[in-house]
């Protein structure tokens, strides 16, 4: 009875030993082959960091990935995946090895990160509820040149009569109309409508925009001197930029560009919208743009500066905001030379609409326009809507979303000006400025608008750009590596009608090539200039038209992208040396406080003190010539989180803050005592 159990136990021991040896052999085999597999395939590469704010993940060599010390320098939360993505057809299937980067050149490698990476998935609202506006206030509507009263709603709300007042550029309302109970003819472009009950009490208020035929008159064709002087000045500086001369000869071929081939310009800017976030919440529009319209997506589109204004100024003027004295005038920005003026000189009607006036591109930190800048200018409409809404940041205006109103305006202009040339700039901010998921509310709204334009043949003579100024600049996602990268890579889609693509096929070839090159807002400015005459070579100062091939070896320095914003390849080393981190953080704190100290002495801002170092990463360019550190700190008062790149100065043997400083946390009303764009994100008002 005792022998069988003994033999059974011995058999188990022997069998277990053999199994252990076998499993060990399998493990070693798989481990060795996995290293080779990393080197030749498109698998995900996992890096780890909880609050990692590096410059670029791709500069780690594959050999370094096998170094456990290097990997374990990061925390355990983040698993940043580099995946293949075909930006032309939205196919996320496997591609050749070179496709795991959005831009893949010797001088620039921008990784293609998973928008739903494990690191940030818990921070995302994956299926946001659609935000609907209460349309009970939509008591009146316009058809042609007549304002109608909705009789069903009129009876329901016990309305006796209504009046309207015209709204003018300066925000002043005109004289009230006669009372009406059914309809009334109108001539004015912007209207404020008020409806009253039988006791004379106000029941409902609404605002309307109406199309009004105009002629281009703001910038006459013979008044070119102002714009051309701005564009052509400092030509000697443009010769320093050799990128233009690197173009292939095909781009210089004479195309006999016909004036009749000039396209309308439709620009749709969606605030704080990165390419990565468009993959999360803008999927229907993306699919329609690429599959139905044949639009080209620019995958290496890198922002140039921090917020909306300092990115849109290069887009619209071809110059950095800091270099334009016209932006600093207390009298407004009217003396600046904007791209729409060039189109006005060429007979285009011009339009500028922006759905958030209190934080408008040229009003939040600047003094705005004292004179109407374009033929059609929507600010009076949105200004009065904001004044009468429940909150300045509300996305609904009396029953209709602000973006819906702006899209309707854009469509009305395209329809009514279909036999004329126009330039239309539309900036949507309310839905997307603060929340990543706000873009979801823009998806079907944008899709419905552009599909309606396309199906009604209103895009057959139009160049359309749908783009972001930058990605979301603050919040929890922003404080991860994915967030750091996407904040610097805004979305950009470009559409041209089919006949234009066929006739100017060489230029379209260049555009598609450039879809995987490093590009900026400066390039869009020169693209808009190019569209006035594709044959003419203008001066090149800071950018290259996207219809001309951009050199494959372009660097951030070539493209005038500061190291702090550059998404190209850098060698990164996470700094665990507390002495170094504390030294760098103190340099940054001193820099921030010196900015506060040098500001208006009457402004009361608290001195900032260090709470903690969130992260510190050594940043070195591939050549090793450009050395620096990217550091993220938390300060008090206000729990501000700031990111800055400090560069090593060989002359002094020390690090200095160079370029801009990013604020990664919201500042709300904490800085309402200052107006300047730099101080607003730093100051904590006493």
Give pLDDT tens digits for 504-562: 999 999 999 999 999 999 999 999 999 998 877 766 789 999 999 999 999 999 999 99
Residue 99 buriedness (CB in 10 A; 0-12 / 13-18 / 19+): middle
Is it true that domain 235-530 has CATH number 3.90.110.10?
Answer: no
What is the topology classification, in CATH, of domain 575-680? Nuclear Transport Factor 2; Chain: A, (3.10.450)
Averaged confidence pLDDT in the chain = 80
User: Is the separation of the CB atoms in 273 and 437 below 8 Å?
Assistant: no
Percent of the chain at pLDDT > 90 equals 53
User: Is the separation of the CB atoms in 526 and 543 below 8 Å?
Assistant: yes
The C-alpha angle with vertex 167 and arms to 162 and 173, in degrees rounded to 5, equals: 75
Give pLDDT tens digits for 312-342: 999 999 999 999 999 988 889 999 999 999 9
Give pLDDT tens digits for 109-159: 999 999 999 989 999 999 999 888 887 768 899 998 999 998 877 777 788
User: Is the separation of the CB atoms in 585 and 659 below 8 Å?
Assistant: no
> Is pLDDT at 243 greater than 50 in this prediction?
no
Phi, psi of 31 (to 5 degrees): -60, -45
More confident residue, 624 or 376: 376
What is the Cα–Cα distance from 573 to 611, expressed in whole angstroms? 23
Peptide bond into 637 cis (omega under 30): yes
3-state SS, one letter per residue, for 333-371: CCCCCCHHHHHHHCCCEEEEEECCCCCCCCCCCCCCCCC
* Per-residue confidence band for 677, with pLDDT thresholds at 50, 70 and 90: low
User: Is the separation of the CB atoms in 576 and 608 below 8 Å?
Assistant: no
Lowest mean pLDDT of 172-176, 199-203, 663-667, name the range: 663-667
Q: Which long-range contacts (CB under 8 A, 24 or more apart) does 407-410 make?
A: 407/445, 407/446, 407/449, 408/209, 409/209, 409/351, 409/353, 409/378, 410/266, 410/268, 410/351, 410/353, 410/449
Residue range 349-364: mean pLDDT, rounded:
94
Give pLDDT tens digits for 74-85: 222 333 444 433
Percent of the chain at pLDDT > 70 equals 75
CA dist 345 → 217, 233, 371, 401, 545 (Å): 9, 19, 18, 34, 20
Q: Six-digit token pair at 240?
A: 């320093």
User: Is the separation of the CB atoms in 477 and 315 below 8 Å?
Assistant: no
Give pLDDT tens digits for 416-465: 999 999 999 999 999 999 999 999 999 999 999 999 999 999 999 999 99
Calculated CA dihedral for residues 423, 428, 429, 435, nearest 10 degrees: -140
User: Is the separation of the CB atoms in 108 and 99 below 8 Å?
Assistant: no
């Amino acid at each position: 009875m005792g022998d069988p159990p003994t033999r059974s136990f011995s058999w188990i021991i022997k069998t277990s030993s053999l199994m252990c040896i076998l499993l060990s052999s399998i493990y070693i085999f798989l481990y060795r082959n996995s290293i080779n597999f990393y080197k030749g395939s498109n698998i995900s590469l996992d890096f780890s960091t909880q609050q990692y704010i590096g410059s670029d993940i791709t500069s780690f060599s594959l050999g370094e990935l096998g170094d456990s010390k290097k990997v374990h320098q990061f925390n355990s939360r983040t698993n940043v995946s580099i995946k293949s993505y075909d930006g032309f057809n939205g196919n996320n299937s496997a591609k050749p090895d070179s496709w795991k980067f959005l831009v893949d050149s010797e001088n620039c490698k921008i990784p293609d990160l998973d928008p739903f990476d494990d690191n940030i998935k818990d921070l995302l609202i994956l299926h946001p509820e659609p935000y609907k506006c209460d349309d009970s206030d939509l008591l009146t509507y316009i058809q042609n040149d007549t304002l109608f009263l909705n009789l069903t709603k009129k009876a329901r709300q016990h309305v006796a009569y209504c009046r309207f007042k015209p709204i003018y550029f300066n925000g002043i309302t005109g004289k009230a109309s006669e009372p009406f109970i059914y309809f009334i003819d109108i001539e004015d472009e912007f209207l404020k409508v008020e409806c009253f009950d039988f006791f004379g009490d106000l029941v409902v208020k609404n605002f309307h925009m109406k199309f009004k035929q105009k002629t281009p008159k703001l910038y006459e064709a013979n008044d070119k001197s102002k714009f051309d002087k701005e564009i052509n000045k400092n030509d000697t500086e443009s010769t320093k930029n050799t990128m233009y001369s690197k173009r292939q000869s095909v781009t210089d071929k004479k195309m006999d560009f016909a004036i009749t081939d000039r396209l309308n310009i439709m620009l749709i800017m969606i605030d704080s919208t990165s390419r990565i976030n468009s993959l999360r919440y803008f999927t229907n529009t993306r699919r329609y743009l690429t599959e139905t319209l044949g639009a080209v997506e620019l995958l290496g589109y890198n922002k140039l500066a921090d917020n909306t204004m300092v990115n849109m100024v290069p887009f619209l003027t071809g110059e950095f905001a800091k270099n334009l004295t016209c932006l600093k005038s207390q009298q407004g920005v009217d003396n600046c030379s904007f791209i729409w003026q060039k189109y006005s000189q060429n007979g285009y009607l011009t339009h500028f609409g922006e759905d958030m006036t209190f934080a408008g591109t040229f009003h939040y930190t600047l003094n705005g326009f004292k004179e109407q800048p374009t033929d059609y200018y929507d600010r009076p409409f949105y200004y009065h809507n904001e004044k009468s809404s429940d909150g300045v940041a509300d996305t609904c205006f009396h029953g209709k979303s602000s973006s819906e109103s702006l899209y309707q305006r854009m469509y009305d202009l395209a329809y009514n000006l279909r036999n004329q040339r126009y330039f239309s700039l539309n900036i949507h901010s309310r839905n997307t400025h603060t929340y990543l998921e706000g873009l979801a509310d823009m998806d079907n709204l944008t899709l419905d608008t552009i599909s309606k334009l396309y199906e009604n043949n209103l895009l057959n003579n139009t160049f359309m750009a749908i783009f972001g100024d930058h990605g979301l600049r603050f919040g929890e996602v922003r404080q991860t590596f994915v967030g750091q990268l996407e904040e610097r890579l805004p979305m950009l889609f470009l559409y041209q009608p089919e006949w234009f693509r066929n006739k100017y096929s060489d230029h379209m070839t260049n555009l598609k090539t450039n879809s995987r090159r490093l590009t900026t807002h400066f390039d869009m400015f020169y693209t808009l200039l190019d569209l006035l005459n594709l044959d003419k070579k203008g001066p090149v100062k800071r950018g290259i038209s996207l219809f001309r091939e951009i050199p494959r070896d372009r660097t951030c320095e070539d493209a005038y992208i500061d190291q702090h914003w550059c998404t190209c390849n850098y060698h990164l080393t996470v700094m665990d040396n507390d002495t170094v981190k504390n030294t760098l953080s103190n340099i940054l704190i001193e820099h921030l406080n010196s900015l506060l100290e040098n500001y208006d002495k009457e402004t009361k801002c608290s001195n900032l003190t260090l709470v903690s170092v969130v992260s510190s990463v050594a940043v070195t360019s591939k050549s090793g010539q450009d050395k620096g550190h990217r550091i993220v700190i938390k300060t008090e008062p206000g729990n501000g989180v700031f990111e800055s790149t400090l560069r090593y100065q060989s002359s002094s043997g020390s690090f200095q803050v160079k370029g801009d400083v990013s604020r990664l946390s919201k500042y709300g009303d904490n800085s309402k005592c200052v107006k300047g764009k730099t101080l607003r994100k730093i100051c904590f008002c006493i």
